[in-house]
C-alpha cells in the first residue's frame, strides 16, 4: 500500500492494474484510463446503439453516443440502417441536434452544408467559391460498421473488428433465448426511456449486473415488501444460502455474462404467481383467464413478468427482466443509465399493459438501491490509501466451477463475471486483441 496521496496509475501499465482476483482502483477513478477506454474499448468492439423498432420507417432517426462520439442512427429511403458520425465535414459542428425525429436530410445549422440520411453530402451553399477540385463525394458524414440481431443495432468504429457473431459468441444464444419469449421473436423497444444519472464509473454498473451476492443486502427493502405477499416471491431466494440453490452465473467470453434465476421457478405459471404486486394485476389475470384457454392464459401471464434471466453484452447492453438497460459513459465518474421497456405486437392489450406495470417495478424500487451503492463505491474508491478492489469470491473454490470451452459456470454469488470481463478489458486496453 502506498502512503502517498499521489495516484500510482500514471506509472502503472494496464497489465499491472488487473490481477486474477482484484483490480486497481485506478480503473474506476483515473480520468486518463477513461479517455483510453473510449478508444481502446468502446471504439474497438461492437457496441449496442439502438433498436430497429425505434426507427421503424424510412427517414426516421435517433441520436446517441458511440464511444463518446455523437452519432445519428438513420433509416434511409431504401430502409437500410446507417450509423453516422454527427460531425459536419466543414468545420466540425454537429449536423443533427434533436434526440429523435424524421429527416430526409441533415442541414448543418452553421453554414448550411446538406447531407442526405445515408450520409452523402448533397449540397454546399454558393459552391462556385470552392473551385473545380472540390468533389462533394469526398466529404460524406463518416459511417460506422453496422450489424443487427433481432433488431438490436450494434456498431463499431473498428474496420478490423471480427463480425458481430464472432464477437457475441455464446451471448448470441442467450439473446436468441431471451427474444424467443416474444411472440414470433419480435421485440419492440419503447421510445420512452427512463434516464438515470449515475455518479459512478460505468464499470461499477457492469460489475453489478451479474452479481448474485448483493440482492439480499442491497435490495433488502424490496425483498421485505415481496415477502409480505407470501413466501418464495421474486428474488427472495437470494436471501437463503443462494450458493446451495440451483441458480448460477456464467462468464461467456469477450466480456459477456449471464445470471440465471429460472432454476428457482417450477415451470409454467410459477413466474407470474411469484412476482411482486403490480397495479391492476389481479384484474388483468381474471380477464385473461376468462378469455383464453388455461394453457394460453398461463403463458400470457408468464410473459407479463420478467424473463428471470440477466445478461450483459459487453460493454454497454444489459438485459434485466423484460427491460434493457443501456450504459452511456460520460466521464470517469459519471454514467447515464437508460432503462427501456419492451413490448410485442403479438400480445393481447391487457397483457401488454400489465407487462408495462411490471417493468416499472425494478427501475423504481430496486435500481435506486444500486445507484446509491455505485455512487458510494465511487466515493470510497477515491481514497488513495487502499488500492485494490477485490473480486475474489469463489476464486478459491474452483471445485464448484465448470469450464466448457469459453463458458465458465459457477454458483450464483461467485465473482467470475467481473474477473472474466476485466481480463478481456486488460487485453483490449493493452491492445493485445
Ligand atoms: Fe457545418 Fe460549416 S460547420 S457547414
Ligand atoms: Fe441490484
- End-to-end Cα separation, the chain, in angstroms: 31
Q: pTM for the complete prediction?
A: 0.94
pLDDT at 135: 96
What is the residue with the minimal CA distance to atom 3 of ligand 1?
91
Burial of residue 6 (CB within 10 Å: 0-12, 13-18, 19+) is: exposed
Task: Name which of 367, 325, 321 is nearest 218 in CA terms.
Answer: 367
Rounded percentage of the chain residues whose pLDDT exceeds 90: 84
pLDDT at 1: 42
Whether 108 is in the pocket of ligand 1, judged by its Cβ within 6 Å, is yes
Whether the per-residue pLDDT at 5 is higher than 50: the answer is no
Which ligand does the CA of 97 lie closest to? 1
pLDDT at 315: 98
62-70's contacts with Cβ under 8 Å and 24+ in sequence apart are: 62/99, 62/100, 63/96, 63/97, 63/98, 63/99, 63/100, 64/328, 65/328, 66/42, 66/144, 66/155, 66/157, 67/38, 67/39, 67/42, 67/43, 67/157, 68/38, 68/42, 68/329, 69/43, 69/157, 70/94
Which ligand does the CA of 362 lie closest to? 2
Read off the pLDDT of residues 220-247 as tens digits, 9 standing for 90 and up. 999 988 888 887 788 888 988 999 999 9
Q: How far is the CA of 331 from the centre of ligand 1 (A)?
A: 27
Whether the per-residue pLDDT at 345 is higher than 50: the answer is yes
Tell me the CB-side half-sphere exposure of residue 54, using CA atoms within 13 A. 24
SS3 222: helix
Q: Which of 66-75, 97-106, 271-280 has the lowest mean pLDDT?
A: 271-280
Q: How far is the CA of 309 from the centre of ligand 2 (A)?
A: 13
Q: How far is the CA of 244 from the centre of ligand 2 (A)?
A: 20
The atom of ligand 1 lying closest to the CA of 112 is 4
Whether the per-residue pLDDT at 2 is higher than 50: the answer is no
Report the chain's mean pLDDT, rounded to a whole number.
94
Read off the pLDDT of residues 264-282 as tens digits, 9 standing for 90 and up. 999 899 999 999 888 999 9
Whether the per-residue pLDDT at 216 is higher than 70: the answer is yes
Q: How far is the CA of 219 from the centre of ligand 2 (A)?
A: 7
Q: ω into residue 261 within 30 of 0, thus cis?
A: no
Which are the contacts of 357, defined by CB distance < 8 A and separation ≥ 6? 278, 279, 280, 281
What is the residue with the minimal CA distance to atom 2 of ligand 1?
111
Whether 111 is in the pocket of ligand 1, judged by its Cβ within 6 Å, is yes
The atom of ligand 1 lying closest to the CA of 91 is 3
Q: How far is the CA of 34 from the centre of ligand 2 (A)?
A: 24
Whether the per-residue pLDDT at 8 is higher than 60: the answer is no
Beta bridge partners, 313, equal 317
Whether the per-residue pLDDT at 7 is higher than 60: the answer is no
Place of cell 451476492: 213
SS3 27: helix
Beta bridge partners, 41, equal none
| Residue extents of the structural domains in the chain | 47-152, 170-429
Whether 90 is in the pocket of ligand 1, judged by its Cβ within 6 Å, is yes
Cβ–Cβ < 8 Å for 263, 271 = no
Distances (CA, A) of 411 to 64, 238, 246, 340, 347: 37, 12, 8, 29, 35
Place of cell 434465476: 261
Cβ–Cβ < 8 Å for 136, 115 = no
* Confidence band for 105, pLDDT divided at 50, 70 and 90: very high
Whether the per-residue pLDDT at 4 is higher than 60: the answer is no
Q: How far is the CA of 281 from the centre of ligand 2 (A)?
A: 24
Task: Report the distance separating Cα 15 and Cα 425, nearest Å.
Answer: 10
pLDDT at 211: 96
pLDDT at 277: 87
Whether 91 is in the pocket of ligand 1, judged by its Cβ within 6 Å, is yes
pLDDT at 230: 80
pLDDT at 229: 85
Whether 407 is in the pocket of ligand 1, judged by its Cβ within 6 Å, is no
The atom of ligand 1 lying closest to the CA of 124 is 4
pLDDT at 190: 78
Section 164-184 average pLDDT: 95
For domain 170-429, the CATH superfamily is Naphthalene 1,2-dioxygenase Alpha Subunit; Chain A, domain 1 (3.90.380.10)
Pocket test for ligand 1, best of 108, 114, 136, 141 (most atoms within 8 A of CB): 108
Q: Is 201 left (phi over 0), alpha (psi -120 to 50) or beta?
A: beta
Residue 218 DSSP code: H
Q: How far is the CA of 391 from the centre of ligand 2 (A)?
A: 17
Whether 114 is in the pocket of ligand 1, judged by its Cβ within 6 Å, is no
pLDDT at 225: 86
- CATH fold label, 47-152: Rieske Iron-sulfur Protein (2.102.10)
Could you tell me how many residues make up the chain? 433
| Residue 237: φ, ψ to 5° | -65, -20
Read off the pLDDT of residues 106-158 as tens digits, 9 standing for 90 and up. 999 999 999 999 999 999 999 999 989 999 999 999 999 999 999 999 999 99
Tell me the CB-side half-sphere exposure of residue 233, using CA atoms within 13 A. 15
Which ligand does the CA of 94 lie closest to? 1
Whether the per-residue pLDDT at 3 is higher than 60: the answer is no
What is the residue with the minimal CA distance to atom 4 of ligand 1?
111
Residue spans of beta strands (DSSP E) within 67-150: 69-75, 81-85, 100-102, 105-107, 114-116, 121-123, 145-149
The cell for 117 is 440520411
Whether 97 is in the pocket of ligand 1, judged by its Cβ within 6 Å, is no
Q: How far is the CA of 135 from the centre of ligand 1 (A)?
A: 16
Amino acid at each position: 500500500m502506498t502512503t502517498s496521496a499521489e495516484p500510482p496509475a500514471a506509472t502503472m501499465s494496464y497489465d499491472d492494474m488487473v490481477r486474477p482476483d482484484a483490480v486497481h482502483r485506478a480503473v474506476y477513478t483515473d480520468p486518463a484510463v477513461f479517455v483510453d477506454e473510449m478508444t481502446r474499448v468502446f471504439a474497438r468492439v461492437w457496441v449496442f446503439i439502438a433498436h430497429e423498432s425505434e426507427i421503424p420507417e424510412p427517414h426516421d432517426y435517433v441520436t446517441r453516443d458511440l464511444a463518446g462520439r455523437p452519432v445519428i442512427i438513420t433509416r434511409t429511403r431504401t430502409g437500410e440502417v446507417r450509423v453516422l458520425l454527427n460531425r459536419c465535414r466543414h468545420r466540425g459542428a454537429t449536423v443533427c441536434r434533436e434526440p429523435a425525429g424524421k429527416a430526409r436530410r441533415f442541414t448543418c445549422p452553421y453554414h448550411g452544408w446538406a447531407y442526405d440520411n445515408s450520409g452523402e453530402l448533397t449540397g454546399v451553399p454558393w459552391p462556385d467559391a470552392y473551385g473545380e477540385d472540390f468533389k462533394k463525394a469526398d466529404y460524406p458524414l463518416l459511417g460506422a460498421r453496422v450489424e443487427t440481431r433481432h433488431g438490436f443495432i450494434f456498431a463499431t468504429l473498428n474496420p478490423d473488428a471480427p463480425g458481430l457473431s464472432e464477437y457475441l459468441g455464446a451471448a448470441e444464444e442467450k439473446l436468441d433465448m431471451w427474444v424467443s419469449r416474444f411472440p414470433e421473436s419480435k421485440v419492440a423497444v419503447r421510445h420512452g426511456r427512463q434516464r438515470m444519472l449515475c455518479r459512478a464509473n460505468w464499470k461499477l454498473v457492469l460489475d453489478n449486473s451479474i452479481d448474485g451476492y448483493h440482492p439480499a443486502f442491497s435490495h433488502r427493502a424490496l425483498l421485505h415488501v415481496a415477502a409480505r405477499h407470501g413466501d418464495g416471491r421474486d428474488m427472495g431466494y437470494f436471501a437463503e444460502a443462494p450458493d446451495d440453490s440451483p441458480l448460477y452465473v456464467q462468464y461467456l467470453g469477450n466480456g459477456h455474462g449471464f445470471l440465471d434465476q429460472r432454476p428457482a421457478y417450477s415451470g409454467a405459471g410459477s413466474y407470474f404467481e411469484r412476482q411482486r404486486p403490480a397495479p391492476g394485476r389481479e384484474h388483468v389475470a381474471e380477464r385473461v383467464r376468462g378469455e383464453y384457454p388455461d394453457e394460453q392464459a398461463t403463458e400470457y401471464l408468464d410473459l407479463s413478468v420478467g424473463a428471470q434471466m440477466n445478461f450483459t453484452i459487453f460493454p454497454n447492453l444489459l438485459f434485466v427482466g423484460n427491460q434493457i438497460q443501456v450504459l452511456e459513459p460520460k466521464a470517469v465518474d459519471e454514467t447515464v443509465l437508460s432503462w427501456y421497456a419492451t413490448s410485442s405486437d403479438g400480445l393481447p392489450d391487457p397483457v401488454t399493459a400489465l407487462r408495462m406495470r411490471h417493468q416499472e417495478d425494478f427501475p423504481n424500487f430496486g435500481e435506486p438501491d444500486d445507484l446509491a451503492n455505485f455512487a458510494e463505491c465511487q466515493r470510497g474508491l477515491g481514497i488513495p490509501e487502499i488500492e485494490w478492489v477485490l473480486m475474489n469470491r469463489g476464486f478459491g473454490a474452483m471445485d464448484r466451477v465448470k469450464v466448457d470451452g469459453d463458458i465458465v459456470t459457477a454458483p450464483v454469488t461467485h465473482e467470475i463475471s467481473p474477473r472474466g470481463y476485466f481480463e478481456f478489458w486488460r487485453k483490449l486496453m493493452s491492445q493485445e486483441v
